[in-house]
Amino acid sequence: MPEWWKGACIYQIYPRSFNDTNADGIGDLPGITEKLDYISGLGVDGIWISPFFTSPMKDFGYDVSNYRDIDPMFGTLSDFKTLLTHAHDLNLKIIIDLVLSHTSDQHPWFTEKPEYYVWADPKPDMFGERVPPNNWVSVFGGSAWTWHEEHQQYYLHNFLKEQPDLNFHEPCVQAETLDIAKFWLELGVDGFRLDVVNFYFHDQELRDNPPRDETLGAATQFEGDDPYSTQTHIYDKSRPENLEFIKKLRALMDQYDSRFTIGEIGDDHPYERASEYTDPGLLNTCYNPQMMSGKHKPLTAELIQNPIENILKEDGWPSWAFSNHDVVRAASRWDKNGDGFTQDPKLSKMLIALLGCLYGTTFLYQGEELGLPEAKLEFDDLQDPWGKHLWPEWQGRDGCRTPIPWTSAPPKKSWLPMPETHLPLNIESQDKDTQSVLNFTREFLPWRKQQNALKSGTIHFHESSNDILILERRCETQNLLCAFNLTDTENQLPPMLPHCETTAFPQSENPPAQALKPYEFWIAEIKHP
């Protein structure tokens, strides 16, 4: 069975913000279909589409009320089938976001099948007060338990109170979720990105989580006063029973040709979990957030090298991204001279090349090919419930979710405002500019597809300063040396690098002198003796 995902580059689409074809201010599935030629022209291998299922949109699609239909704001099931057919005609794989850990509280199950959810009696309290059954907290703040008056019990929600957790200890829940996966596999999707895949099971004894070990650092990307980061999360996620269910899901996937599973894991021990969840018979790969986490972590050689080497120690096929719909855009996060809401095109180009040279499957978030920076928003503009909760310390996730600028004119209506900093970076203008980030991406990614060393070769890091990252990709037919200046100042290359005579990528120097200019990179063939 061909493992097409190994070495692939997958383009992530956040459908609300991608392309709006009916002028209602929200992107839609016909909008994705309309731009498939654009996506194919980037040189990617597939598309991951964030949730488009029927939903009340309390968490913008990650609160599902019908797993087998499309929310009307995005279109119809027929629209999705059209999208799938056209994508496959262009040799693009389609990965959909499957949110199985929890549903919306407006899903019919919550009323009609309460046994599908996690319920618990109040904990006895010496003062006669009603208190939650344990100390678990929600990722989005507050207790992970909400009292349900009609049911006269608490229900568990690891995220919003409108997102009650499913009880995977119940065989009927496992059967139901496997049937949902089968529904989409039968339609022809090429795989699933499994949202918070390690959250499916909870400790049945409902034991309290212990205080957090300070050496673990923050438990979420928010580094301020975060209740979720006060606990070591032993009992509310990453339970051993979860692996048995993943085996059942993988067995279902293997009944179809070349289907792909990637799990999103948020855990106190990410490398161990990623290795555990990608053992034979489990997931194909895990979506590793180590290069996206933390708003204030500078771009250094260590930041890139350490996660890759840690993953390789644990074995398994990794996946990497610099940006997605949940984090500050990389063009802002790592711009040392910017105000956090502008971008340096040299940095954006270097990041595209760096991502493409890493070992594993890579994910490019919509707008990265344009070098879009984070959008600066006012409180009244915010839609993200997490951002509203953490304001003003953090504006939440909306800054990376604003609409894609297709032209220089802002849309007449949009669910989030189009930032002025994005309009000059519009696709129509970048298409005509031979030096744009967009046209760089269109050159680099197709070139990368032809490099066996970058698709499937091993990776080896050379010693250098923390400002310069030097790695080698090797396979039987090719040996590439890749050097990246991660800063906005000129930096010296270390001595005694392997001898290179032939530049592999056309926009690299041939070869550089003894230094790399700001955000310059170099990819060259190593000469064998």
Domain extents in the chain: 9-103+169-449, 108-156, 458-526
Instruction: Please write down the HEC assignment for all residues of 510-527.
Output: CCCCCEECCCCEEEEEEC
CATH number, domain 108-156, options 3.90.400.10, 3.40.718.10, 2.40.50.140, 3.40.605.10: 3.90.400.10
Catalytic residue among 63, 165, 195, 268: 195
Q: Which of 117, 306, 133, 58 is nearest to 288 (CA)?
A: 306
Examine the residue annotation and report whether 225 is marked as an active-site residue of this protein: no
Partner residues linked to 287 by β-bridges: 264, 319
9-103+169-449 homologous superfamily = Glycosidases (3.20.20.80)
Q: Which of 154, 87, 91, 62 is nearest to 117 (CA)?
A: 154
Catalytic residue among 97, 226, 264, 267: 264
| Cβ-proximal residues to 344 (8 Å cutoff; 6+ apart), any chain | 331, 335, 337, 338, 488, 519
From first to last of its 529 residues, the chain has per-residue pLDDT tens of: 579 999 999 999 999 999 999 999 999 999 999 999 999 999 999 999 999 999 999 999 999 999 999 999 999 999 999 999 999 999 999 999 999 999 999 999 999 999 999 999 998 776 778 899 999 999 988 999 999 999 999 999 999 999 999 999 999 999 999 999 999 999 999 999 999 999 999 999 999 999 998 888 777 765 566 789 999 999 999 999 999 999 999 999 999 999 999 999 999 998 899 999 999 999 999 988 889 876 668 899 999 999 999 988 877 899 999 999 999 999 999 987 666 666 799 999 999 999 999 999 999 999 999 999 999 999 999 999 889 988 988 899 999 999 999 999 999 999 999 999 999 999 999 999 999 999 999 999 999 999 999 999 999 999 989 999 999 999 999 999 999 999 999 999 888 777 776 677 866 554 556 789 999 999 988 876 5
Examine the residue annotation and report whether 195 is marked as an active-site residue of this protein: yes
Looking at domain 458-526, its CATH class is mainly beta
Annotate 247-300 with DSSP letters as a single string.
Answer: HHHHHHHTTSTT-EEEEE---SSHHHHHHHHTSTTS-SEEEE-TTT--TT----
